[in-house]
Structures are given as structure tokens and as C-alpha cells.
Amino acid sequence: MKNGTLEFDEASHTYRVDGRKVPGVTEVIRAFSPGFQASDWHKQRGIACHAAIALSNLGKLDWKSVDPAIAGRVRAWEKFRRDFGGTVIAVEKKLAHDMYLYAGTLDAAIERKDGIVVVDAKSTVEDFVVWQLAAYAMLFTAKTKRSVRRVGAVRLADDEKYQCTWFDEREIAKAARQFLGMVTTFNALQEYGITKGDR
């Protein structure tokens, strides 16, 4: 699968590399953490919010097109960007890992003087969000050969405020090992056709 062609189907949220389905980061985590799930309404709001944030990161956001339901969260993201600084070097980047056979879409990678930081915009921040962030960091490093110094979840609120939860290199390394255990198990179960009911 090395340097294969990555395709993403938006409707089914499915990743394929050279035609072969590979699990997404959230799909893997959801299999081991059933609570890692959002309602359809929240998913749609999240999609709209992420799309607006991506345009903002690219300097292409037209505020007249922003739904008032997400405006406060998008403004919170823009405040975070002004406060945090650095240069956004990846936006809504879809990546696949050649060795560990998983894929994902990272919200943003930001380059600062103290290193590269991978961040994800969130409505709520679960304790195990570090698994998701570490998985994105591994994807970024595998494709760019550049180390990630920190990862963070940026919780955005309707009142235009934000709150950051940060993890350092030691925490990333620990979470990466845990995620790799999950994705290896997930892929093995898929390979042998073992479903939840069989366990």
C-alpha cells in the first residue's frame, strides 16, 4: 500500500487506499469506546463548523455564508488562531498510514518556532481525545517525515470562547502506542470476519 492513492467517500465516511477499505481514526476509536458517538444533528453541525474553519484557515471565509448556528464557534476558532499564532501548514488534510493501515482527516497542523502542533476543533472534549490526536500526529509524521511537538483539542463555544487541552510528546507517544494496539486489533478482527457479536 506504500504511497497508494487515498480516496474518501463523504456520504459513507469511508476511506480507501488503492480501492481497499481502511478504517478511519474515529471508526477505530468508536469500536473500543462506544460513547465516542454523536447524534446526526451534532454531526451535521460539526461538518458545517469544520468547513467554515477550514475556509478561515485558508483566508477564504465569507462571513455572509456562515450559518448563525455556528458563527460563535467559528469566531472562537479565529480568536484561538490569533492568540496561538504560527502558520497553518495543513488544513482538513486526509492522510493514510501505509504501515498500520488506517486513515484520517486532521483539522489543522500549525508550525511555530517551538515546533509543529496538530490541533482539532471540538464541541466537547473527551478524556480519550488524545488517542485521536496521537493518531493524526502519526499520520502527519509518516507522510511529511516531520515530528509533531504537541497536539491539542480546541473546544469551541457558542459564546465565541475557546478552551485548549494540550498533550506533549510523552503523552502523544503513550497514546500512539495505545491507538496502534486498537487499530491492529480492529484490522485483525476485520480480516477474519469477527464481529462484535462473535466476541
For residue 199, the one-letter residue type is R
Domain boundaries, the chain: 6-198
SS3 155: strand
Beta strand pairing status for 148-156 and 115-122?
parallel
Let me know: does 81 contact 68? Beta carbons within 8 Å.
Answer: no
What pTM was estimated for this model as a whole?
0.91
Per-residue pLDDT of the chain (199 residues; tens, 9 = 90+): 456 799 999 888 899 999 999 999 999 999 998 765 667 777 788 889 999 999 999 999 999 999 999 999 999 999 999 999 999 999 999 999 999 999 999 999 999 999 999 999 999 998 889 999 999 999 999 999 999 999 999 999 999 999 999 999 999 999 999 999 999 999 999 989 886 545 4
Sheet holding 14-17, edge to edge: 6-9, 14-17, 20-22
Q: What is the pLDDT of residue 12?
A: 87
Of 54, 25, 1, 55, nearest to 133 (Cα)?
Answer: 25
Q: What cell numbers appear for 181 in the block?
A: 494496539
Beta strand pairing status for 87-97 and 14-17?
unpaired
Q: What is the pLDDT of residue 3?
A: 63
Alpha carbons 175 and 197: distance in angstroms, whole number: 27
Q: What is the pLDDT of residue 189?
A: 94
Q: What is the pLDDT of residue 13?
A: 86
Q: What is the pLDDT of residue 99?
A: 92
What is the DSSP secondary structure assignment for residue 24, as one 8-state letter? B
Q: Which CATH architecture has domain 6-198?
A: 3-Layer(aba) Sandwich (3.40)
Let me know: does 111 contact 86? Beta carbons within 8 Å.
Answer: yes
Q: What is the pLDDT of residue 9?
A: 92
